[in-house]
Amino acid sequence: MKINTVLAGVAGTLLLALATSTTALAAEKDVTLQGEAKCAKCSLHEADKCQTVIQTKEDGKTVTYWVKQNDVAKNFHKEICSDSKKVKATGKVEEVDGKKKITLAKITPAE
């Protein structure tokens, strides 16, 4: 009887670990977004300091992706701080505190 309880506990732990690693792997996949890059402070008035956001349309609604600071984001921000620009961006997306955030690998003006 004790062996069954131990085996059930081990199986549950393994299933939980597998589910967590599968979710983590899915989050590691690069996503490509097309939308309008704007400054969260200067254009949207939603931040205390300059930060790039990318707004896209999904199912008829505007979705805002907050760009996490890295070299790619810092180098691109000067292009959109005073004026928004249509862009194509690739990176890893995650949801933190109800906000979608993207860590950019690449961002270019849309054609």
Residue 11 lies in a domain: no
What residues form DSSP beta bridges with 96?
99
21-65 per-position pLDDT tens digit: 444 444 568 999 999 999 999 999 999 999 999 999 999 999 999
- Tell me which residue has tokens 């349309």: 57
AA letter at 61? K
Full residue range of the structural domain in which residue 34 is found: 30-109
Q: Nearest 5°: phi and psi at 39?
A: -90, 125
Instruction: With respect to residue 86, please indicate whether it lies within any of the assigned structural domains.
Output: yes
- Assign residue 77 the CATH number of its domain: 2.40.50.140
Q: Is the entire prediction scored with pTM above 0.85?
A: no
